[in-house]
Amino acid sequence: MEKARTILSDLDLMREKTLVQKLLEEIRKEEGGLAAYGEDQVRHALELGAVDTLLVSEGLRKLRLKLKCGNGDWEGERTVADEATLPGYLDQAKAYWSAQLGIPLSKLADIRIAVADLPGLELAMTVGRTIYIDRDGAGGGWTSAALLDMVKLEVGHILGR
């Protein structure tokens, strides 16, 4: 049984290697070949139905957020690396509460933030000292100001305000 598992694992590895080699050959072709590489090119090929095989890295850690401008001039989707955009909002919220309550920022260092698919119309939820922000603002998207206000509110909850 173990030998069969090893053989099957080796076959999967060889199949993956063959697919990656084929991708690299297509990318290297002068006229671009049959490969799409990068988020925008891949999304476009998917929309056209022109994808036969899709390779996704196991290390891919990105989020697709639905955003909209507060004055209604723009809305769309953006891909962000992890939750890379959220720490800036958290830092601003921590600075706000530090100034309001006169507490050192070091006392707020253990507060964390993450993106989650929250149920229903939930915009944010705090568990312990971790703030969870709904991925798409309960379907309505996030403006930058609304996201900052929500993070401030949740930090305030953590601080008992």
**Phi, psi of 77, rounded to the nearest 5 degrees:** -120, 145
Res 81: pLDDT = 47
Sketch the domain layout of the chain as residue ranges.
2-48, 62-158
Region 124-140 average pLDDT: 85
Per-residue pLDDT tens digits for 21-60: 888 888 788 876 788 877 778 888 889 998 888 887 765 5
Give the HSE-up count for residue 42: Cα atoms under 13 Å, Cβ half-sphere.
9
What is this structure's pTM?
A: 0.53
Per-residue pLDDT tens digits for 9-25: 667 778 888 888 888 88
**Calpha distance 139→135 (Å, rounded):** 9
Region 83-98 average pLDDT: 86
CATH of domain 62-158: 3.30.2010
